[in-house]
Amino acid sequence: MTNVAATTDDHSVHFRHLADIVRNNLENQQDWTQLRVHLSHDDDGADRVDPGQRARSRPPRILLSGLPPRRLYIHPDEQIEIFRAERALGNGRRIPQPPEYEWVLPMHLAETPSVGQFAAVFDVMDALPPGATASLDGADSRSPNEDGDAQWKQWRRAKRGKRLLLAVVQDDSSVVYYMMHDGIVKPRQN
């Protein structure tokens, strides 16, 4: 029994170290702001929570969330609608593309996650991280001529699908990021 507890503690420490490496990279090299750590159900305080409630509300792995310096992903259909809306605005006017809060899942390159493990992470996530909607409510930079119900807005904020940035860490602490979606996403057209 002691070996099982020691193994669980080793995994927990490993995941915390991965999260620290990724957080440091996001803050100091990628210029992310407002970074938050979302502890997994195996971390501190989990024993004080009902196991059923914990499984529904806490991720199976440590997740990070934050605000990148620029927008990381534009849905292909949104991009088409933005082009149409910008053409209608005329005079070369552009629709602002402010950054959106993103989820980040730290992993090590040697890990071999299953689809079920990724599904478990997506199951406990909302489209936006906690606190992101409150922070964005005052950040609506709508121009006077811009329609509040514009077609291209259906892919923004809480209306967007669940997605996360998969942060893959190598032994030398280098980090590579991949955008990952919950479900099937229409591919980009060239």
- Span 4-53, pLDDT tens digits: 444 556 678 989 999 999 999 999 999 999 999 998 765 544 433 334 44
> Does residue 47 belong to any structural domain of this protein?
no
> Does residue 89 belong to any structural domain of this protein?
yes
Measured CA to CA, the distance from residue 27 to residue 170 in angstroms comes to 18
Other CB atoms within a 10 A radius of the CB of residue 122 amount to 18
> Does residue 97 belong to any structural domain of this protein?
yes
**Residue 54: per-residue pLDDT:** 41
Residue 129 has pLDDT above 90, yes or no: no
- The structural domain count of the chain equals 1
- Taking alpha carbons only, the member of 17, 81, 69, 82 closest to residue 43 is 17
Measured CA to CA, the distance from residue 176 to residue 149 in angstroms comes to 36
- CATH, residue 164: 3.40.1350.10
Q: Which DSSP helix (H) or strand (E) runs through 33?
A: strand 33-38
Residue 171 has pLDDT above 80, yes or no: yes
Domain that holds residue 79: 4-42+57-135+152-181
- Taking alpha carbons only, the member of 71, 58, 52 closest to residue 156 is 71
List of E strands, 75-155: 102-108
How deeply is 48 buried, as exposed, middle or buried, from its count of CB atoms within 10 A (0-12, 13-18, 19+)? exposed
Residue 3 has pLDDT above 70, yes or no: no
Q: Per-residue pLDDT tens for 40-89?
A: 765 544 433 334 444 445 668 899 999 999 999 888 888 888 888 888 88
Measured CA to CA, the distance from residue 175 to residue 97 in angstroms comes to 25
Percent of the chain with pLDDT over 90: 41
> Does residue 146 belong to any structural domain of this protein?
no
> Does residue 50 belong to any structural domain of this protein?
no
Check: CB of residue 92 under 8 Å from CB of residue 51.
no
Q: Is 81 helix (H, G, I), strand (E, B) or coil?
A: helix
> Does residue 147 belong to any structural domain of this protein?
no
Q: What is the DSSP letter of 74?
A: -
Phi, psi angles (nearest 5°) of residue 38? -110, 105
Q: How confident is the model at residue 160 (pLDDT cuts 50, 70, 90)?
A: confident
